[in-house]
Amino acid sequence: MKIALIMENSQASKNAMVLSELNTVASPLGHEVANLGMCDESDHHLTYVHLGVMASILINSKAADFIFTGCGTGQGAMMSCNMHPGVVCGYCVEPSDAFLFNQINNGNALSLIFAKGFGWAGELNVRYIFEKALTGERGQGYPLERAKPQKENASALYSVKTAVAKDVIDGLKSIDQDIVKTAIGGVRFQEYFFAHCQDKKIANYVRSLLTS
C-alpha cells in the first residue's frame, strides 16, 4: 500500500517523530511511506485547508492508497479531507478509534490529534494508532455479528459521497486556484505525485497549474 503523510504548519515540528513511528509500523508490513510535509517550520507552508486538496489529488489519482494527516485538534484536517470527492477520512484519538475505523468504516484517510492532549508517551499513542490502522484485514466489521450491515453501510456511504460530490477536477477548479497552487507547490509533493499518478486528466490539471 502507498501511504502519504501530510501535516500542516502548526505541527510541523512533530513531523520527524510521526514519520519515524509510521515507518516503524509500515515498513515491516511492506507499505511504502511518502513524507509530503511539512517536515519543519521552514518547509513549504501548508494549512489544514491545503491538506484536503492534497489528499483529494493523491487519492483520486491513485498516487496514494491511504493518507495519514492531522493538525492540532485533528478536526480541521478531517473536515478539510472530507469535503473532497473520493476521500473518506476518520478522526482518531486513540488506537481503538483506528481499529474501529479500519473495520467498520474502511475509509482511506485518518486524521490524528498532534497538539490537544498530546503529552507524555504521545509518540507511543501515535505508533499504536498506526498499528491498528494498518494491521489486519480491513472492513470485516465489529462486532463480527454486525459485519454484514456495517459493510453495507460503508458501501452506501461511499455511494452517497459519489452522488453528491462534484467530479474531482471540477471540484478543484471551483476552489480559489491560489489555494490549490499552494497545496501542490511543494517539491516533494510534485516529485511523488508525478511518479505515482495513474490519472492523466488529474496530472494534466496539476501540470497546468504549475506552469500558469
Q: Treating both helix axes as pointing N-terminal to C-terminal, what angle do 200-210 and 187-196 enclose, rounded to 10 degrees?
A: 150
Which domains can be identified in the chain, with CATH numbers? 2-210 (3.40.1400.10)
Walking along the chain (212 residues) 10 residues at a time, the average pLDDT comes out as 97 97 98 96 96 98 98 97 97 97 96 95 96 93 90 92 93 97 97 98 98 90
**What pLDDT shows up at residue 144?**
85
Q: pTM value?
A: 0.95
- Neighbouring C-alpha atoms within 13 Å toward the C-beta of 126: 28
Strands (DSSP E) along 6-79, which ranges?
32-35, 66-71
Q: What is the number of other CB atoms lying within 10 angstroms of the CB of residue 203?
A: 16
Q: In terms of Cα–Cα distance, which of 146, 162, 155 is closest to 100?
A: 146
Strands (DSSP E) along the chain, which ranges?
2-5, 32-35, 66-71, 89-92, 109-113
Burial of 87 (0-12, 13-18, 19+ CB in 10 A): buried
Q: Distance between CA atoms of 107 and 158, rounded to whole angstroms?
A: 9
**What pLDDT shows up at residue 212?**
87
**What pLDDT shows up at residue 76?**
97
